[in-house]
Chains A and B, each alone.
Chain A
């Protein structure tokens, strides 16, 4: 299938008093139409920044973004206007990402107005009703305001707004993290159904590993701004090679009695991402780190078809020596 989105060596540094904070460092991946790439990692690993740079809510420091084959890294205002129609975002906090002074129908209809999609009022109203129906909002809620809705419904409004222009790509930044499990299941099912119906591609940012496995085709694991492992999602849970991925997956508490009691406990916590030296960023917490890991940055290599790992010692760690 055709590549919809391609990211090459994307970098985003933030200036701080102590130096540049490397939030996203040299990240590359591609995404096909109608597919989902899950990005997982712990807080502060740069996954939200990555999503924001991809949809141009933040400017990239380096690297390139290709959308439908065109380089869109630094679009001007009119190019951005066209691009935004196909690139939308759903935010984490459904309480903070909706304008409290706009009603549900106004929020969902605003993109339609900005892009002059509809010729007259009647057409506009029909389209807003249609979108509300698609995301499972009862039409009686059209004139309600965000504060009158619960978290699940608010997130549906956020999804409706992102969907209004029939985009080809939506970046979902932790869209279910603020929701209870029963509501979370409703929203995940909705996102999956929309993908089937409209062939939308998602980047799905989350820290919840069972959610990401459920929704993604591919999963990228991030650690301190870099990709450490990337593979097909089912495959990643079956066989994973990077020491960080192993620790991360083993740390998930499973809702089963007697499930995974073997756990890899990591030492310490994430180190500072400000002006990091050329080394494996996971090395200070890694049980297998050697001198080389502190001196050289490991590159992402294709260990198995469509399974990429960035680790100097991946073969020793996994007994893959031949």
Chain B
């Protein structure tokens, strides 16, 4: 398959005004507050943000794994190939999940079943979603293992016999076994060492190109984003504060939070003694501030920011910023 130019891909997934709350007794934790984005076929969108920004909640909502209760999709639509996934029954979601839409979880150590051989775990997915015999499914599982660089004769080995990087490969094999159109990868390399991370990223990049899979990559590592993403969405306190092509975000970031994130990373090429750090902490989702959620930490804060939520503004084509600085 040819590597298609990202701009020409067709709209595969569209999220419109998604709002997710966690409701415990009378307390409402506003985890995701009206986010919208589009992922085209074959495109990789990086969802970046710090702990508690709502990245994982977004992912779980997309794949229909949000624990409900306490979770609740209050508003918004998730359109997959034009069909709204919000409000679909469990039977429908089960068919989609693992087949069309799949997910790789952060921790490969705990997301595999320790009592089932890795081969059988992959085979199970194939049997559920494809009309294949057990023998054919076994063959497919073996092939998938080999695709991710694990010898097929380790089919009958158990997760404990694999190292962290190998387990993450098994997860990738499982996620790609039914040739999904859309893959959600939640911090797929965070638990891995850099040299192993490099192997896994290269593998994901190759497979993605071969199969033209669209990917939502959740991460807090901007280095990983620079390497694999076409577009980036920066999340803060449940809002997407900036969204645009990766070159735009890295070379011309506009939102003060995005700028803060970039300045906080020690640069391998600079000699500065102290880092520019963002003071303060992310707000508690139970008590979000009025107006722009970032205003208490923002050095450009104006009166307007304290009362009005800024609108999404397109500063250059495809580059959206949610900040009052840009009228």
| Residues of A participating in the B interface, judged by any CB pair closer than 8 Å | 42-43, 150-152, 180-186, 188-189, 192-193, 207, 209-211, 213-215, 234, 237, 247-248, 250-257, 259, 263, 265-266, 269-270
Q: Are B264 and A252 in contact (CB under 8 A)?
A: no
- Beta-carbon nearest neighbor of B221 in chain A: A253
Whether a CB of chain A sits under 8 angstroms from the CB of B235 is no
Q: Are B194 and A210 in contact (CB under 8 A)?
A: no
Cβ-neighbour of B268 out of A254, A257, A266 (below 8 A): A254
Contacts of A265 in B (CB 8 A): 195, 198-199, 202
Cβ-neighbour of B50 out of A43, A182, A215, A255 (below 8 A): A182
Q: Are A180 and B220 in contact (CB under 8 A)?
A: yes
Whether a CB of chain A sits under 8 angstroms from the CB of B321 is no
Contacts of B158 in A (CB 8 A): none
- Beta-carbon nearest neighbor of A237 in chain B: B268
Are A182 and B220 CB-contacts (below 8 A) given A210-B265, A213-B268? no
Q: How far is the CB of B10 from chain A (nearest CB, A)?
A: 25
Q: Are A186 and B250 in contact (CB under 8 A)?
A: no
B157-212 CB contacts (< 8 Å) to partner A: 163-166, 193-199, 201-202
Instruction: Report the bound CA distance from A71 to B39 in whole Å.
Output: 63
Contacts of A192 in B (CB 8 A): 273-274
- Beta-carbon nearest neighbor of A150 in chain B: B281
Known contacts A185-B265, A251-B198, A255-B223; 16 further A-B pairs (Cβ under 8 A) = A42-B196, A43-B164, A151-B51, A180-B51, A180-B220, A181-B220, A185-B264, A185-B275, A186-B277, A188-B266, A192-B273, A214-B266, A215-B266, A253-B221, A259-B226, A265-B195
- Beta-carbon nearest neighbor of A196 in chain B: B273
Cβ-neighbour of A42 out of B50, B195, B223, B247 (below 8 A): B195
B220-254 CB contacts (< 8 Å) to partner A: 220-227, 246-247, 250-251
Cβ-neighbour of B223 out of A151, A189, A234, A254 (below 8 A): A254
Interface size of B by Cβ–Cβ distance < 8 Å? 45
Are A189 and B261 CB-contacts (below 8 A) given A42-B195, A214-B266? no
Q: Are B202 and A185 in contact (CB under 8 A)?
A: no
Contacts of A211 in B (CB 8 A): 266
- Beta-carbon nearest neighbor of B166 in chain A: A269
A and B contact pairs by CB, cutoff 8 A, 20 listed: A42-B193, A180-B220, A181-B220, A185-B264, A185-B276, A193-B274, A207-B193, A209-B268, A210-B268, A237-B268, A252-B268, A254-B223, A254-B268, A255-B265, A256-B226, A257-B226, A259-B226, A263-B198, A266-B199, A269-B163
Contacts of A210 in B (CB 8 A): 265-268
Instruction: Report the bound CA distance from A215 to B273 in whole Å.
Output: 8
- Beta-carbon nearest neighbor of A266 in chain B: B195
Q: Are B264 and A181 in contact (CB under 8 A)?
A: yes
Contacts of B251 in A (CB 8 A): 257
Q: Are B261 and A181 in contact (CB under 8 A)?
A: yes
Instruction: Report the bound CA distance from A266 to B266 in whole Å.
Output: 25
Q: Are B275 and A248 in contact (CB under 8 A)?
A: no
Q: Are B225 and A255 in contact (CB under 8 A)?
A: yes
Contacts of B51 in A (CB 8 A): 151, 180
Contacts of B265 in A (CB 8 A): 181, 185, 210, 255
Contacts of B194 in A (CB 8 A): 42, 207, 209, 248, 251-253
Q: Are B226 and A255 in contact (CB under 8 A)?
A: yes
Q: Are A186 and B279 in contact (CB under 8 A)?
A: yes
- Beta-carbon nearest neighbor of A263 in chain B: B198
Instruction: Report the bound CA distance from A181 to B260 in whole Å.
Output: 10
Q: Are A247 and B195 in contact (CB under 8 A)?
A: yes
Q: How far is the CB of A16 from chain B (nearest CB, A)?
A: 16
Whether a CB of chain A sits under 8 angstroms from the CB of B262 is yes
Whether a CB of chain A sits under 8 angstroms from the CB of B278 is yes
Instruction: Report the bound CA distance from A184 to B275 in whole Å.
Output: 10
Instruction: Report the bound CA distance from A166 to B132 in whole Å.
Output: 69
**Shortest 8 CB-CB distances between A and B: which pairs?**
A253-B223, A214-B266, A185-B277, A255-B222, A42-B193, A185-B264, A180-B50, A251-B198
Instruction: Report the bound CA distance from A152 to B280 in whole Å.
Output: 10
Instruction: Report the bound CA distance from A263 to B201 in whole Å.
Output: 12
Q: Are B264 and A182 in contact (CB under 8 A)?
A: yes
Q: Are A189 and B274 in contact (CB under 8 A)?
A: yes
Instruction: Report the bound CA distance from A186 to B268 in whole Å.
Output: 18
Instruction: Report the bound CA distance from A152 to B281 in whole Å.
Output: 9
- Beta-carbon nearest neighbor of A214 in chain B: B266
Contacts of A186 in B (CB 8 A): 277, 279
Contacts of A182 in B (CB 8 A): 50, 260-261, 264, 277-278
Cβ-neighbour of A253 out of B196, B224, B260 (below 8 A): B224
Instruction: Report the bound CA distance from A255 to B246 in whole Å.
Output: 11
- Beta-carbon nearest neighbor of B201 in chain A: A253
Q: Are B266 and A255 in contact (CB under 8 A)?
A: no
Q: How far is the CB of B53 from chain A (nearest CB, A)?
A: 9
Q: Are A269 and B275 in contact (CB under 8 A)?
A: no
Instruction: Report the bound CA distance from A188 to B194 in whole Å.
Output: 21
- Beta-carbon nearest neighbor of B250 in chain A: A257
- Beta-carbon nearest neighbor of A285 in chain B: B195
Contacts of A207 in B (CB 8 A): 193-194
Are A255 and B275 CB-contacts (below 8 A) given A181-B220, A182-B264? no
Contacts of A214 in B (CB 8 A): 266, 275
Cβ-neighbour of B226 out of A43, A185, A254, A270 (below 8 A): A254
Instruction: Report the bound CA distance from A43 to B275 in whole Å.
Output: 26
Q: How far is the CB of A259 from chain B (nearest CB, A)?
A: 7
Contacts of B166 in A (CB 8 A): 269
Instruction: Report the bound CA distance from A214 to B164 in whole Å.
Output: 28
Contact with A along B115-140 (1 / 0, CB 8 A): 00000000000000000000000000
Q: Are A189 and B277 in contact (CB under 8 A)?
A: yes
